[in-house]
Amino acid sequence: MIKADIRHFTGGIRKILGSLLLLFISLTLSRSQDGPQRVFMYLDYFQSENGQYLLAEVKYRVEGEFTQLSDVAINFYLNTDTSQIKLGTVITGLNGKARFELNEDNLIRNVDGSAKFESIFEGNEGFSQATKDVTTKRVNLSLEGETEDSINTLTVSGIELINGEEIEVSETDISIFVKRTYSDLPIAEGTLEDGSFSTEFPEDLPGDDSGNLWIIARIIDHDDYGTVETRKQLAWGIPVSHVQEAGTRELWTRDAPLWIIMSVTLAFTAAWFHYFLSISKLFKIRKL
């Protein structure tokens, strides 16, 4: 009976050890079979009145966290129904991003006005290949401001361009922002219907000396259009003078507060006075 128990016990131990050994071997093998790291690619299309560009971003995971992949070549292509045309190559920067400026004259668009772009990272010893594509259409956004009865109204118009033909943009989300120092301040959100969207503009935003504000209308990451924006400067802000008043003495102004000047001058004058007093005693030594 006891022998059977012992046999049963040792058998159990053997099984556990065997499982652990198998686990260790499989872990070791899986680790040794680790090939190039997986690369995640993102591709976005941006257009505005200043032009259009593609922005590819490549990342990989380090201990579960995304890290930008810098100094690698990204090839950009235009895919038509019949062929793939290489547009160019850009090396990713420290932020893992590669920006490629598009020239409309060099693009061949489909009948519906769309163009399919593809970005390819060919891969290397350390990182696997990655591709991403985006299909986009050309859109013209415009901003107009109108003041009536002291109410400022902003109107955004969106026109889709299909082989020279203009078609009003519909059922498309649009956001309005005002440019601030560090980021864009959201003002309104809405939908472009029959090519336009109107909204009342707030009266209490601080502007520059003349009350100018940079107003931005933006379609964000749309399935067909990508990110589209237009900007316009309007004098709809409250004029705020950023010029310092002459004679202002603060910690943050050009001229220091008098108490700081006096304190620092006094401290250093006292120290250096005693220093020279001490030196004057030294000069006497030779004569004594």
Partner 1 sequence: MEISPFDKLLSKFKHPIAQPSRSWWMLFAIMLAFVAIGLVALVDQIVHGHQVTGMRDHVVWGVFIVNFIFFLGIGYSGAIMASVFHLTRIRWSKPLHRIVEQFALMGLIVGPVFIFLCIGRLDRILYIFTYARIQSPITWDVMAIMTNLVFIATYLYIAHIRDFAKLRDTTVLEISSWKKKLFEKLSLGYTGRPEQIKALNRAQNILAVTVLFTAILADSLLAWLFGMSLRPGWHSTLFAPEFILVALYSGVALLIVLMWIYRQQYKLNDVITDQHFQIMGFTLLLFCFGFAYLTLSECITEWYNVSETHRRWIGKFLDFNEYGYMSLATVAFAVGFPLIVLVIPRFRTPGSITVISVLILIGLWLKRYLIIVPTLETPFVPMQDLRPEYVHYQATWVEWALTLAGIGSSVLILMLLNLFAPVIPVADLEHDDEIVVPKPFYETLK
> What are the Cα distances from residue 234, in Å, to 51, 69, 237?
22, 40, 8
Buried residues in 210-242 as b, exposed as e (16+ CB within 10 A): eeebbbbbbbeebebbbbbbbbbebebbeeeee
- Looking at residue 97, the DSSP 8-state letter turns out to be E
Q: Taking the complex as a whole, how short is the minimal distance between the CB of residue 54 and partner 1, in angstroms? A: 20
Residue 272 touching partner 1 (CB under 8 A)? yes
CA distance 115 to 173: 21
Per CB under 8 A, 24 contacts partner 1: no
Q: Work out how close the CB of 57 gets to partner 1 at its nearest, in angstroms, rounded to a whole number.
A: 10
The residues, any chain, with a CB within 8 Å of residue 59's CB and separated by 6 or more, are 39, 40, 41, 42, 66, 67, 68, 69, 96
286 counts as binding partner 1 under rule CB under 8 A: yes
Nearer of residues 2 and 288 to partner 1, judged by Cβ: 288
- Residue 21 vs 267, nearer CB to partner 1: 267
Q: Looking at beta carbons only, is 25 or 261 nearer to partner 1?
A: 261
Residue 267 touches partner 1, criterion: CB under 8 A: yes
- Residue 244 CB, nearest approach to partner 1 (Å): 14
3-state DSSP assignment of residue 239: coil
Phi, psi of 5 (to 5 degrees): -60, -45
Stretch that binds partner 1, among 1-9, 48-56, 136-144, 261-269 (CB under 8 A): 261-269
Of residues 97 through 136, those in contact with partner 1 by CB under 8 A are none
- Please say whether the beta carbons of 121 and 155 come within 8 A: no
Q: In this structure, are residues 154 and 201 in contact, taking their beta carbons and an 8 Å threshold?
A: yes
Alpha-carbon distance 92 to 219, whole Å? Answer: 26
Q: Cβ(159)–Cβ(140) under 8 Å?
A: yes
Which residue of 16, 235, 256, 266 would you call a contact of partner 1, by CB under 8 A?
256
Q: Could you say whether residue 266 binds partner 1 (CB under 8 A)?
A: no
The tokens describing 54, both together, are: 């593609």
258 binds partner 1 (CB under 8 A): no
Binding-residue pattern over the window 216 to 255 for partner 1, x denoting contact by CB under 8 A: -----------------------------------xx-x-
Is 288 a binding residue for partner 1 by CB under 8 A? The answer is yes
- Decide: is 67 part of the binding site for partner 1 (CB under 8 A): yes
Per CB under 8 A, residues contacting partner 1 are 62, 65-68, 70, 94, 251-252, 254, 256-257, 260-261, 264, 267-268, 271-272, 274-275, 277-279, 281-282, 284-286, 288
